[in-house]
Structures are given as C-alpha cells and as structure tokens.
Amino acid sequence: MLLLNVFLAGLACAQISRTITGTVKDSVNNDIEEANVSLIAGKDTLRTVTSRTGKFSFKNVVAERITVHIQSVGYAPQTRAWEIK
C-alpha cells in the first residue's frame, strides 16, 4: 500500500498557478524511491519520478481538478483526485 501526502502552494496571478508537491510512503512510513507519479489535469498529463526521499513536485499547475496516479514495483497502484479552489 502506498500513502500519499500532497501539499498545494498557490501564487496570485490572472490564472492561479500552483506547485503540487508530495511524498510517497509505504504502509510502515518508509519513503518510496523512484515511484512513477502522473498528474492528470483535463487533457494534460505531467509525469515525474520520486526522489530518494519519496518526494515529487509539479510546478505551474493551473487546473482546479487534478488526479494523481502513483505506480511503483511491488506496490498496488494508487489514484487520488482533488478539487483545488
């Protein structure tokens, strides 16, 4: 089982741009390195891989509805959706 912590940071501008960051951990709170993380916003998909400490970041996200999908070898895939206001 993967656990996901996501933090949202917004910047004030005409169209709000956010940085989405998070940490991927297993069920005993160990960081998951090199997990594949996809952020889906409408028709757009951004992808990254977690760091050695399980962290990931997506910059300049303008969508108000996002879905984050995580896959890592040895773990069941996880998907979470958020509406950001």
Where residue 52 sits, what CATH number does that domain have?
Answer: 2.60.40.10
pLDDT of residue 16: 77
Name the band, by pLDDT with cuts 50, 70 and 90, for residue 11.
very low
Q: What percent of the chain has pLDDT over 70?
A: 82
- Tokens standing for 26? 């297993």
Q: Among 35, 10, 8, which Cα is nearest to 20's? A: 8
Range of the domain at 61: 2-83
- pTM given for the model: 0.82
Measured CA to CA, the distance from residue 60 to residue 32 in angstroms comes to 24
Instruction: Detail the DSSP E strand segments found in 1-85.
Output: 2-11, 17-26, 36-41, 44-49, 55-61, 65-71, 78-83
Structural domains counted in the chain: 1
| pLDDT value at 43 more than 70 | yes
Measured CA to CA, the distance from residue 56 to residue 59 in angstroms comes to 10
